[in-house]
Amino acid sequence: MTLTFAMLLDALLGEPRWLWSRAPHPAVLMGRAVGWCDSRFNRGTARRAKGVLVMAALCLCAGVLGGLLSLGGPVVEILVAAILLAQKSLVDHVAAVATGLRQGLPQGRAAVAMIVSRDTTAMDLSATARAAIESAAENLSDGVIAPAFWFAVAGLPGLLIYKITNTADSMVGYRTPRHEQFGWAAARLDDLLNLIPARLTALLIATCAGRWRDLPAIRADARLHRSPNAGWPEAAMARALGIALSGPRAYDGAMRDFPWVNGAGRRPLGPRDIDAAIRLLWQAWALALGLSLLMALT
């Protein structure tokens, strides 16, 4: 029942501003730890080996900390797990894009810039809505289903190891001259830890949308994506809403010609499509909650 209560607490409270304006969020602390390791060890030779050792040390520390926190009992476990789940905050950030677009394109761009790393200054209405929906699908997996899965499998140690890995991947797991070697271990471990949750997220979305017959197409679409895991929830979301996702976008001023996911789907998008994606976020969350309750009762 611990996971069930943690999911409910996260969905009700999210990330209270009164708390995190006074104390650093655990994700912020994880980011600082990764940033320190990056500045301290990502230099000289043997950067891949250094990155492997850094990830091993970070995961060991996260696992030990999770074990120590678990000694506090179910209440502590529920509180920590709720803090590290992100359903309500995800919905709030995605909904802010729809609200912004209803006010005007500049407001929508400003809102979506808070949740994506791509260039947003030249986005049109459809590209802005598409970015928000893609972020919704990917972060349902990364921020909700994957943490819940690893908590169910290995308790707080599993949850904290997943979160530090995901944080490291988001900071150093890029194929850039600086991080391609040092961030290799973070990127590969993140791929491994998201292997099952990403596909589980796709199943949840497809189930909620009644699109089980689309599973072969979702699998095929997922292979087109630049990520071995993010393509699964995005492909499921695209099929569920009948829209095209991914496709060309700009990073650091350069246009990248990524393939479309569900390329035959509708491409003109707007706030209503974001609203539909948010409904699917809650439906998938509710199904995951039901599964966690079922596991607790069996």
Tens digits of residue pLDDT in 77-88: 999 999 999 999
- Work out the pLDDT band at 28, boundaries 50, 70, 90: very high
In sequence order, what are the beta bridge partners of 219? none
d(CA 297, CA 277): 30
Q: How many CB atoms lie within 10 A of CB 241?
A: 24
Q: How many CB atoms lie within 10 A of CB 226?
A: 10
* Contact (Cβ atoms closer than 8 angstroms) between residue 289 and residue 4: yes
Residue 256 has pLDDT above 80, yes or no: no
Q: Which residue has the tokens 């099929």?
A: 239
Higher pLDDT, 252 or 50: 50
Q: Which residue has the tokens 């912020």?
A: 28
- Work out the pLDDT band at 165, boundaries 50, 70, 90: very high
d(CA 278, CA 120): 21
Residue 297 has pLDDT above 90, yes or no: no
- Work out the pLDDT band at 292, boundaries 50, 70, 90: very high
Q: Which of 277, 285, 232 is nearest to 112 (CA)?
A: 277
- Work out the pLDDT band at 246, boundaries 50, 70, 90: confident
The predicted model gives 165-178 an average pLDDT of: 93
The predicted model gives 235-247 an average pLDDT of: 94
Of 54-58, 88-92, 104-108, 228-232, which gets the smallest average pLDDT?
A: 228-232
The predicted model gives 167-182 an average pLDDT of: 93
Q: Which of 258, 217, 220 is nearest to 240 (CA)?
A: 217
- Work out the pLDDT band at 254, boundaries 50, 70, 90: low
DSSP 8-state secondary structure symbol assigned to residue 175: -
Give the mean pLDDT of the chain. Answer: 93
> Would you kindly state where each structural domain of the chain is located, as residue ranges?
2-297
Of 51-60, 99-108, 112-121, 128-137, which gets the smallest average pLDDT?
A: 112-121
Please spell the DSSP secondary structure of 263-281, one letter per residue: TTSB----HHHHHHHHHHH
The predicted model gives 37-42 an average pLDDT of: 96
- Work out the pLDDT band at 253, boundaries 50, 70, 90: low
Q: Which H/E stretch holds residue 282? A: helix 271-297
Q: How many percent of the chain have pLDDT more than 70?
A: 98
pTM: 0.94
Which residue type is seen at 249? Answer: R
The predicted model gives 179-203 an average pLDDT of: 97
* Contact (Cβ atoms closer than 8 angstroms) between residue 195 and residue 150: no
The predicted model gives 100-104 an average pLDDT of: 97
Residue 251 has pLDDT above 90, yes or no: no
Higher pLDDT, 255 or 79: 79
The predicted model gives 261-282 an average pLDDT of: 96
Q: If 0-12 CB within 10 Å is exposed, 13-18 middle and 19+ buried, where does residue 246 land?
A: buried
Q: Which of 152, 134, 153 is nearest to 205 (CA)?
A: 134
The predicted model gives 262-290 an average pLDDT of: 96
Q: Say what the pLDDT of residue 19 is.
A: 78
Which residues 6+ apart lie within 8 Å of 294 measured at CB?
none
